[in-house]
Chain A
Amino acid sequence: MRKGKIVINEDRCKGCFICISQCKVKEIEKSNKVNKYGQVVVEFKNLGKCNACTLCAISCPDAAIEVYEIIEEKV
C-alpha cells in the first residue's frame, strides 16, 4: 500500500475539522495547540496508516495541508 504523510500549515489552519471528517484512516485529530490567531489547529497522528489519498487536503478550505507520498528506495 502507498505510504504518505501530511504537513499542516498551522498558520493557515482554522480548526474547522473538515479534514478530520474526510480522513478514512483517522490520521488527523484536534490538537491542544492554538495558533497565533487563536485558532485550535489539527495535527497529523502519524500512525503509519496515511496512504497519501489527499482527501483531507482537497477538502481543506484554507489550503493548509500538504500531502507527501513516501517512496521506499530499494537497495
Chain B
Amino acid sequence: MMEKAKEKSEQNHKPKGTDEHVIVIKGLKKSFGEKHVLKDINLEVKRSENVVILGRSGTGKSVTIQCIVGLLKPDSGSLKVFGDEVADMSEKELKQLRIKIGFLFQSGALYDSMTIRENLEFPLTRILKIKEQAEIDKRVEAALDSVGLLDSIDKLPSDLSGGMRKRAGLARTIVVNPEIILYDEPTTGLDPITSREISELILSIQKKYNTTSIIITHDMECARLASDRVVVMDDGEYIAEGTFDSLHKSKNKIVAAFFKDIL
C-alpha cells in the first residue's frame, strides 16, 4: 500500500516531456476460462507516437486494446495509462480516462437507431457537453468531411456500405479530438484508394493534434504509412518490435510472412 502511494506521488511530480510514456503495459495476462489469450504483453507507447500491432487473427490484439480502456479486466500484470493503473480506477476516474481515449471498433459499432449525424453528435453533446449547435455542426461536418462522408450525413448506418460504416465509425472516434486513439483494423474491408486515404488521415491526425495511437492492422500499406514503430504479436506475446524498415529485414518466420509481399 505504502509503496503504491509513493509511486503515485512520484509520477505526479514527473515533468511531462515529449519522451513521456503514455501507455505502459508490463507482463499483462488475460485468459477466458481455459483459454490463455494474452500470455505476457509488454509495451510502452510514447506521447504522440503511432504504434502498429501486427499479428494473426485471434492472437489477442483486440483483447489488448480492450484492456487499455477497461472494457476487459486483465488477470495479472500492470497496465498504466497517463501513469495510473487502469484496474485500480474508480468508475469516475475510468470515465475521465475514457473521455481522453478514442476507440475505433473493428465492426464500427455505429448506433444503428441514429443517423450518422446523431452518431457523431452523441459524444459531443453527452460527453463533452457542448451546447452551441453551430459548434456541434462545425465539428460534425469537419469530421465527416475528413473521411469523405459528408454526403451521407443524414443517412442511417443500415443504408451505408460496410466500408462507409467503418469510415463513419472513424469520424465518430476523431470528432471529440481524443489524446489517445486506439484503431482496431481501420482499413480492413476498404478499397486500396480509400485505405490509403484513411492511413494518411491517421498520420495527419497524429501530426495535427499530437495524438498517441495504437493501430491494429493487417494492411501493410497502412502499417508502412502510419507507423513510427511496429510490434508483431503471436500467440499472446510480442515477438518482434522495431521500425517498419528494420522489421522488413527480419529473419523471424512469422515476421517475414507479414512482410513477404513488400518490396
Do the two shown chains form a genuine complex with each other? no
Instruction: List residues of A whose CB falls within 8 A of some B CB.
Output: none
Residues of B that sit less than 8 Å from A by CB: none
